[in-house]
Amino acid sequence: MDALITKLPAIIDNAGQASARAVDEAAAADRGAHAIDAATALEAATLPKFDALLATRIAGFESARNHVGQIIAAALALAFYLFVGFFLSVRGAVAQISGRLRSLTERDTTDLRAGLEAVAQRGSSRTWTRSRAWPTRTSASSEEVSASAEQTSASTEQIAASAQELANTAGELSRLVGAFTVA
């Protein structure tokens, strides 16, 4: 019994602590339930606002994406238009230059003479009148042009090759642009 009496204060302390723990656990459960209710109320109040803000942000991103796409499409259309316009305007001139350069490389200066006479006709009428007035000077000029054409025939072959390469490059670019626009 003495042992029981000596253990009695420890047993009473343990019982008091157990009831305090029960009270603490009940209070903690109440506080937890209150915290859960507050979190649920906060979520219910803020979730629609966050959804609206998120929807606004997504709409802004989509609008910016559409604007960038429109700008890119307009830039590509403008580039294509300029390229096709340049290609079409240069193609005829390149073909004429290539034909004349081929005739020069074959030592045929009749096209050159015809071209020079056309330029002279477009020039001032005073120069053309002088050329008719002095036929010896015109024939001397034709001979000078023939001599000059013969001297430059080697370089005209290079120019003809360059012109052909330019025409090929323009054709290839046109084909690539056509393939790009189809894709």
Q: pLDDT tens digit string along 79-124?
A: 999 999 998 888 888 888 887 777 767 766 666 667 667 777 776 4
Q: What is the mean pLDDT of the chain?
A: 75
The percent of residues in the chain predicted with pLDDT above 90, rounded, is 23
Number of domains in the chain: 1
107 or 34, greater pLDDT: 34
- Asked whether the CA dihedral 127, 128, 132, 137 is positive or negative, the reply is positive
Q: How many residues does the chain have?
A: 183
Residue-wise burial string across 89-125, b where 16 or more C-beta atoms lie within 10 A, e elsewhere: eeeeebeebbebbbbbbeeebeebeeeeeeeeeeeee
Could you list the residue range(s) of the whole structural domain that residue 97 is in?
Answer: 2-182
At residue 93, the pLDDT reads: 81
Pick the range with the lowest mean pLDDT from 32-36, 126-130, 143-147. Answer: 126-130
Q: How far apart are CA 99 and CA 105, in angstroms?
A: 10
- Is residue 127 within 8 A of residue 120, CB to CB? The reply is yes
Alpha helix ranges (H) inside 106-152: 110-122, 125-133, 135-151
